[in-house]
Amino acid sequence: MVETRHAAPILVASNRGPVSYRLGEDGTLSSRRGGGGLVSGLSAIGPEAGAVWVCAALSEADREAVRRGVGEDGSRMIAVDPPVFEAAYNGIANSVLWFVHHLLYQTPLEPVFDEDFRGQWASFQAYNAAFADALAQEAAEGAAVLVQDYHLSLVPALLRERRPDLRIGHFTHTPWAPPDYFRLLPDDVAEELLAGILGADRAAFLTRRWADAFAACCVAVLGATLSADGLEVTWRGRTTRLGVHGLGADGDFLRERAHRPDVDARIEALRAEAGPDRRLIVRVDRTELSKNIVRGLLAYRQLLNEHPRWREQVVHVAFAYPSRQDLPLYRAYTAEVSRLAGEINAEYGTDSWTPVLLKVDDDFPRSLAAYRLADVALVNPIRDGMNLVAKEVPVVSDNGVALVLSREAGAHEELGTDAITVNPYDIRATAAALHTALTLPAADRTARTKRLADASTALPPSRWFLDQLRALGG
């Protein structure tokens, strides 16, 4: 048994934590607390519960805080050597696991699992082991541990070896690949990833589809067996229960935040830039390969070509915030988004009308302004674990919004009935869906928006987190 440090009864583990640090020119450290669903969820427990969040030091300032022993109550940062972290995070998590689960590989050329990959995989193992060590030290006897996401897929099994007394849950925020695609991975790596998650008492996912895909991989790769309802996986004498928790939007926060003065100011600016009385097709995404921004722009161009009535009448507001720009493929994708937007503007634009308003700097109040003004929301990912944008837009819409939604987004499981569904690869069908959305009768759009908002807020972050804790027996 590992000696404990703080004996926390509840622990959360994730790559990114609730706090980040900044190192001043004079050497002083200052902290900043982040936001998001996990932060909201942990806040729901209350400080009296003695919960501890274990996370990675992501920056040099974070690592300096660890070196100085600086920390926040309820948080423990671990400093993995930068080369090991880089190989684990960008080499494996972002460039292999993300690509597998989102089906992003161009298989004639990639992946190539060579000796470089093996070195990166060793770093991924070391990174996960560092988390398992920290959790084992922090946890009280019989504590509940909620491990978050694909970065930490190996942690449950590693932690169980160290602390068999713990109740361990793992939550995957991404899709899960079907068996044939998952088996692109080397056999030993595929087995280790599945066995890692099966070290948990409970493995949870955003939709039943992703849970079923995980279970199918366990059967195909490990030879595991399933219960009759498909929600228990048994392997080597242990049974892991599967769960589904469809993370929803934080409706109370969004509605309040969307009506602050800074958002109102951005509404005025956005309306002035788009032009009075023009309809707005809005998308808000990171320039992540899976978000499918390029095909969205191609569909918008086809809409303008096939339906000239929308020229001068519609503006595509595309907020595409740069993501993972330390990876060359992502830099190239971001450049292609900008190039194509410019091409559409050159082809169709006039002195008084810019067809695409592309913004590449992250501005949350401006995103909320676009949500409120959107006549149509375009959410067309190739594949997405959930996609909270699809859930957020209806919640804050001022006058009702038509949601054009990819059937490959996890959110489609809950919102598909009232969305206009598209195949994310089909440009013609997506253009037709945009036309349908623009011509949706006002009463129908209003009714759909109300139902979408209700479905989107059914499981807010605090309840989402507490539901997992209760299901684990915490």
CA angle 215, 92, 210 (to 5 degrees): 25
Nearest by Cα to 412 from 243, 208, 170: 208
Please list, in sequence order, all residues whose beta carbon lies within 8 angstroms of the beta carbon of residue 326, skipping any fewer than 6 positions away. 90
pLDDT of residue 1: 47
Q: pLDDT digits over 294-345, tens only?
A: 999 999 999 999 999 999 999 999 999 887 777 788 899 999 999 999 999 9
DSSP 237: T
List Cβ<8 Å contacts ≥24 apart for 140-143. Answer: 140/4, 140/7, 140/8, 140/9, 141/4, 141/7, 141/165, 142/166, 142/167, 143/7, 143/8, 143/9, 143/10, 143/11, 143/167
pLDDT < 50 regions, the chain: 1
Q: Encode pLDDT of 137-168 as tens digits.
A: 999 999 999 999 999 999 999 999 999 999 99
Q: Which two structure tokens, joined as six digits, stand for 297?
A: 């722009």
168 in Cβ contact with 147 (< 8 Å): yes
* Whole-number pLDDT of residue 151: 97
State if pTM tops 0.75.
Answer: yes
In whole angstroms, what is the distance from residue 111 CA to residue 97 CA?
Answer: 11
Q: Are 287 and 331 in contact (CB under 8 A)?
A: no
> Do the Cβ atoms of 262 and 256 come closer than 8 Å?
no
